[in-house]
């Protein structure tokens, strides 16, 4: 009887593999093979110079040396990180504040659903359209300059796209707008999970709500904060649509808003597969390490 049942279970369980087949097949073909060939490409000299095709010739690690020694990867990596930090710092502060207010039972805020709907909206808007919109709004003769002049803050139009820091600020500001709603909702879900008895006990002991926030909420929220920060960093390293459209793929002024993926995109268009491959592999390794950290955190939470 027992063995018969076991046989049946085994017969069912082969369906586990059958149902996994589509995922595995598609993953192997469209993700794994491309990954292997990207790594393979990174060891070869392979590009077009005018109409002549150079390579592929085996170079070993020469491509990696090139992207690090000519400073490109460092410059563009620095740009990417600077713009990510400029967006992430206000994002995490505003999100923490809003999430604390939304989840605070003694505040009893009304219209929460409306506010949450509004702050999440920018996240769903097409990033390229959003960047195009900001480009027109902040252009020299655009509405923002027009409004600032009407109010009397400016005498003449401010050229937002001509200064390094104002362009970077625009990119960071767009990233902030697009992501703080998402972060607020994530943090709120985390705060809702904290035992309310802790807050009640703190209140009885005479703690103010500010103290409760810093002494109870923040420490208990730390795993989620780390998770939010690292996933945001992984997303930040992929920054592309916004600066690409805003600066029309130039990364101007003076390549100060050129991100790593914009640089990769350039190599893909010009079919420089050697350097593009090396850059991809470097980014793969970096995101891989960051993913491992995220994986550790999610895993801990699941146990």
Partner 1 sequence: MRKEKETGVKKGINIKARRAIAYLVLVLISVLCLFWFYVLFINATRSHAELTKGFTPVPGGNLWINWKNLSAGRAASALPIWYGLFNSFFIATFSAALCTYFSTMTAYAIHAYEFQLKKFMFTFILMIMMIPTQVTALGFLQLVGKMNLDDSFIPLIIPSIASPVTFFYMKQYMESALPLSLIEAARIDGSGEFRTFNSIVIPLMKPAIAVQAIFTFVTSWNNYFTPALILHTDRKKTLPILIAQLRSTDWLKFDMGQVYVMIVFSILPIIVIYVFLSKYIVQGVAMGSVKG
Q: Cβ 254 to partner 1, closest distance in Å?
A: 20
Q: Cβ 19 to partner 1, closest distance in Å?
A: 4
Of the pair 185, 256, the CB lying nearest partner 1 is at 185
Q: Cβ 39 to partner 1, closest distance in Å?
A: 8
Q: Cβ 27 to partner 1, closest distance in Å?
A: 4
Of the pair 87, 190, the CB lying nearest partner 1 is at 190
Of the pair 10, 197, the CB lying nearest partner 1 is at 10
How many angstroms separate the CA atoms of 59 and 67, rounded?
14
The upper half-sphere exposure of residue 142, i.e. CA atoms within 13 Å in the direction of its Cβ, equals: 14
How many angstroms separate the CA atoms of 131 and 172, rounded?
11
- H or E segment at 104? none
Residue 147 CB partners (closer than 8 Å, separation 6+): none
Sign of the C-alpha dihedral computed for residues 301, 120, 99 and 94 taken in this order: positive
Q: Cβ 25 to partner 1, closest distance in Å?
A: 8
Of the pair 226, 249, the CB lying nearest partner 1 is at 249
Of the pair 168, 191, the CB lying nearest partner 1 is at 191
CA 274 to chain centre: 26
How many angstroms separate the CA atoms of 146 and 72, rounded?
37
């Amino acid at each position: 009887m027992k063995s018969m049942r076991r046989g049946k279970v085994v017969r069912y369980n082969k369906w586990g593999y059958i149902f996994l087949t589509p995922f595995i097949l598609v993953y192997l073909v469209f993700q794994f093979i491309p990954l292997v060939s990207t790594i393979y490409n990174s060891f070869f000299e392979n590009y077009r110079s005018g109409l002549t095709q150079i390579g592929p010739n085996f170079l070993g690690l020469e491509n990696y040396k090139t992207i690090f020694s000519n400073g490109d990867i460092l410059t563009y990596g620095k740009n990417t990180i600077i713009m990510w930090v400029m967006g992430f710092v206000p994002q995490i502060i505003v999100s923490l504040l809003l999430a604390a207010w939304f989840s605070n039972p003694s505040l009893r805020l009304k219209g929460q659903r409306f506010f949450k709907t509004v702050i999440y909206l920018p996240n769903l808007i097409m990033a390229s359209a959003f960047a195009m919109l900001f480009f027109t709004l902040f252009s020299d003769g655009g509405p923002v300059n027009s409004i600032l002049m009407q109010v009397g803050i400016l005498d003449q139009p401010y050229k937002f796209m001509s200064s390094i820091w104002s362009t970077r600020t625009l990119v960071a500001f767009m990233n902030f707008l697009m992501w703080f709603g998402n972060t607020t909702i994530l943090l709120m879900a985390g705060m809702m999970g904290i035992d309310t008895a802790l807050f009640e006990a703190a209140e009885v002991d005479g703690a103010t709500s500010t103290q409760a926030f810093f002494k109870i909420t923040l420490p208990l929220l730390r795993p989620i904060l780390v998770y939010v920060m690292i996933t945001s960093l992984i997303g930040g390293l992929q920054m592309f649509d916004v600066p690409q459209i805003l600066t029309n793929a130039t990364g101007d002024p003076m390549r100060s808003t050129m991100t790593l993926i914009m640089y990769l995109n350039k190599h893909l268009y010009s079919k420089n597969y050697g350097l593009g491959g090396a850059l991809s592999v470097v980014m793969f390794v970096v995101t891989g390490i960051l993913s491992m950290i995220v994986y550790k955190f999610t895993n801990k939470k699941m146990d």
